[in-house]
């Protein structure tokens, strides 16, 4: 398999997609990757509304390409990163995933637009990309971000799949010189055996990370009995830390009769976190078990 050397950044020229591009340049510069800036044109897309119905589609494409070139040149000069552009036509989410696979992208980095007139459409696009992409997807929801990555937050639970984030976190931490902060939320539903197992897992993961030369901190936090999800307490913890610049989660995808699904807590994290979230699809469980934790 060819080495992954491209970060895919879908763009719709909204503020958040430009923030996503800026964040992508920081990563690309460190890992010496190119950026592929992708605009997917839909018949009812933003640019289609600008022109009257009798304007030829080629004219629309020319305008979009001009804007892509302008943005890529602007960010490329500032950041010293090679930014290529691609203009595609089709359903946005499907085309993003298709292009990512075609390029064997290292990751997809995209903004999520929460403006009222776009929330449902853009949200659905983000959801589909996270659900179907084979590579990690970083979603940008907030408007202010640190240029680097001071600390990575790694929430862990008792599932085997969630521990697959560890190696990806180590990879990112080595690029940025980050600290990894591992946190487990202690649900009121856990019995004594669960708590012992959770503490043991935190200790094993901490040692695994420290052995690889990465600073690591671990903490066990208690959830509010009134909360149906652990997401609010994890995001509160992240906010209180003050230096968390990336949260890594597993999407817990399962293959059903029709499609793949993302569990409700992953969706909640992506939707509500002001900190960038990296979503990772589970791989072979046996690989993780062989690591000893």
Is the Cβ–Cβ distance between 6 and 36 less than 8 Å?
Answer: yes
- For 207-212, what is the mean pLDDT? 95
Residue 39, number of CB atoms within 10 A of its CB:
25
- Model confidence pLDDT, tens digit, residues 180-206: 999 988 766 667 887 888 888 899 999
Residue 197, number of CB atoms within 10 A of its CB:
13
Is the Cβ–Cβ distance between 169 and 248 less than 8 Å?
Answer: yes
Q: What is the pLDDT of residue 258?
A: 35
Q: What is the pLDDT of residue 162?
A: 61
- Model confidence pLDDT, tens digit, residues 238-277: 999 999 999 998 875 444 333 344 567 888 888 889 999 9
Distance CA 163, CA 201 (A): 9
0.95 exceeded by pTM: no
Domains 6-140 and 151-289 are alike in CATH topology? yes
- Stronger pLDDT, 44 or 257, i.e. the higher one: 44
The residue among 232, 268, 19, 269 whose CA lies nearest residue 144 is: 19
Query: Could you tell me whether strands 137-140 and 83-89 are parallel, antiparallel, or unpaired per DSSP bridges?
Result: unpaired
- Stronger pLDDT, 217 or 192, i.e. the higher one: 217
* Domains of the chain, residue spans: 6-140, 151-289
Is the Cβ–Cβ distance between 8 and 28 less than 8 Å?
Answer: no
- Model confidence pLDDT, tens digit, residues 225-240: 666 778 888 999 999 9
Domain 151-289 has CATH 3.40.50.620: yes
Q: What is the pLDDT of residue 168?
A: 87
Q: What is the pLDDT of residue 112?
A: 82
- CATH of the domain spanning 6-140, picked from 3.40.640.10, 3.40.50.920, 3.40.50.620, 3.20.20.30: 3.40.50.620
Q: What percent of the chain has pLDDT over 90?
A: 41
The residue length of the chain stands at 293
End-to-end CA distance of the chain: 28
Q: Which of 68-72, 85-89, 209-213, 262-266 has the lowest mean pLDDT?
A: 262-266
Distance CA 256, CA 260 (A): 6
């Amino acid at each position: 398999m060819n080495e992954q050397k491209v970060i895919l950044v879908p763009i719709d020229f909204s503020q958040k997609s430009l923030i996503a591009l800026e964040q992508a340049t920081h990563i690309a510069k460190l890992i010496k990757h190119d950026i592929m800036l992708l605009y997917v044109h839909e018949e009812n897309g933003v640019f289609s509304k600008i022109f009257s119905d009798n304007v030829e589609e080629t004219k629309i494409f020319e305008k979009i390409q001009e804007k892509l070139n302008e943005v890529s040149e602007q960010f490329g000069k500032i950041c010293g990163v090679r930014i290529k552009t691609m203009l595609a036509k089709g359903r946005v989410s499907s085309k993003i995933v298709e292009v990512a696979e075609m390029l064997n992208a290292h990751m997809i980095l995209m903004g999520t637009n929460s403006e009222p007139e776009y929330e449902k459409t853009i949200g659905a696009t983000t959801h589909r990309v996270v659900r179907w992409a084979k590579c990690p997807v970083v979603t940008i929801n907030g408007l202010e971000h640190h240029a680097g990555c001071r600390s990575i937050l790694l929430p862990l639970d008792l599932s085997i799949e969630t521990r697959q984030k560890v190696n990806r976190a180590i990879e990112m931490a080595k690029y940025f010189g980050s600290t990894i902060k591992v946190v487990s939320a202690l649900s009121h539903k856990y019995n004594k055996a669960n708590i012992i197992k959770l503490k043991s897992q935190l200790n094993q993961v901490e040692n695994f990370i420290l052995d690889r030369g990465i600073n690591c901190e671990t903490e066990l936090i208690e959830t509010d009995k009134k909360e149906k999800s652990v997401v609010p307490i994890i995001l509160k913890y992240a906010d209180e830390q003050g230096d968390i610049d990336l949260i890594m989660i597993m999407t817990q995808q399962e293959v059903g009769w029709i499609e793949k699904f993302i569990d409700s807590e992953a969706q909640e994290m992506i939707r509500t976190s002001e900190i960038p979230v990296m979503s990772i699809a589970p791989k072979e469980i046996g690989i993780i078990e062989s690591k000893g934790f």
